[in-house]
Amino acid sequence: MSKKLLAIVVLILLIAGILGFGLYRNAGTNETKSGESQIGSSEDSKPVAQVQTAAVEHKSISETLTAYGSVVAAPGKTHFVAVSFESRVKHVLVSAGQVVEKGDLLLEIEGTAASLLQLRQAQSTDEEAKKELEQTKRRFDQKLATNQELNQAQKAAADADLLLSSLHQQGVGSTGEIHSDTAGVVAKVDVEDGQVAASGTPLIEIVANDDIEVKLGAEPEEIGKIVPGQKVGISLVYGAGSPTIEGTVRLVTQRVNPADHLVDVFVSFPPGTRLLLAAYVRGEIGIVSRETLVVPREAILPNESEFTLYLVRDGRAVEKKVNLGLGTASEVEIIDSTINEGDRVVTVGSRELSDGMEVKESK
Domain 50-61+291-361 in CATH 2.40.420.20:
yes
pLDDT at 338 over 60: yes
* Higher pLDDT pick, 240 / 158: 158
pLDDT band at 19 (very low <50, low <70, confident <90, very high): low
The confidence band for 54, taking pLDDT boundaries of 50, 70 and 90, is very high
pLDDT at site 162: 87
- Higher-pLDDT residue of 349, 114: 349
pLDDT bucket at 64, cuts 50 / 70 / 90? confident
Q: Which position has the higher pLDDT, 113 or 311?
A: 311
189 vs 91: CA distance, rounded Å: 12
Q: Is the pLDDT of residue 29 over 60?
A: no
Domain spans of the chain, in order of start: 50-61+291-361, 65-74+209-289, 79-207
Residue 69's pLDDT band (boundaries 50, 70, 90)?
very high
How far apart, in whole angstroms, are the C-alpha atoms of residue 93 and residue 110?
A: 15
Query: Does 1 or 252 have the greater pLDDT score?
Result: 252
Q: What mean pLDDT is predicted for residues 193-216?
A: 91
Q: What is the mean pLDDT of residues 109-132?
A: 83
Cβ-proximal residues to 54 (8 Å cutoff; 6+ apart), any chain:
295, 296, 299, 344, 345, 347
Structure confidence at residue 11 as a pLDDT band (50, 70, 90): low
For 61, phi then psi, to 5°, come to -130, 140
Distance CA 142, CA 358 (A): 127
Query: 106 near 126, Cβ under 8 Å?
Result: no
Indicate if the pLDDT at residue 281 is higher than 80: yes
Which range among 120-124, 161-165, 257-261 has the greatest average pLDDT? 257-261
Q: Which pLDDT band holds residue 258 (cuts at 50, 70, 90)? A: very high
Q: What is the mean pLDDT of residues 5-12?
A: 63
Q: Summarize the confidence of residues 22-48 as an average pLDDT.
A: 53
Give dist(CA 147, CA 128) in Å, integer. 20
Q: How many CB atoms lie within 10 A of CB 49?
A: 19
Q: Answer yes or no: CATH 2.40.30.170 is held by domain 65-74+209-289.
A: yes
CA 249/CA 228 separation, integer angstroms: 5
pLDDT at 43: 45
**Across residues 337-350, what is the average pLDDT?**
94
> What was the pLDDT predicted at 32?
47
Q: What percent of the chain has pLDDT over 70?
A: 85
List, as own/partner pairs, every contact residues 276-280 make where C-beta atoms lie below 8 angstroms and the sequence separation is at least 24, other chains included.
276/71, 277/71, 277/72, 277/73, 277/97, 277/185, 277/187, 277/207, 277/212, 278/70, 278/71, 278/72, 279/70, 279/71, 279/236, 280/68, 280/69, 280/70, 280/236, 280/237, 280/238
CA dist 206 and 188 (Å) reads 7
Query: Which residue has better confidence, 40 or 112?
Result: 112
Residues 31 and 272: beta-carbon distance below 8 Å: no
Among 39-48, 216-225, 267-276, where is mean pLDDT lowest? 39-48
Cα–Cα nearest to 312, from 324, 327, 333, 295: 295
Quickly state the pLDDT bin for 41 (edges 50, 70, 90). very low
Q: In degrees, to the nearest 5, what angle opens at C-alpha 251 toward C-alphas 248 and 253?
A: 145
Mean pLDDT taken over the chain:
85
Question: Lowest mean pLDDT: which of 55-69, 97-111, 155-169, 306-320?
Answer: 155-169
CATH 2.40.50.100 correct for 79-207 = yes
Over range 180-187, report the average pLDDT: 92
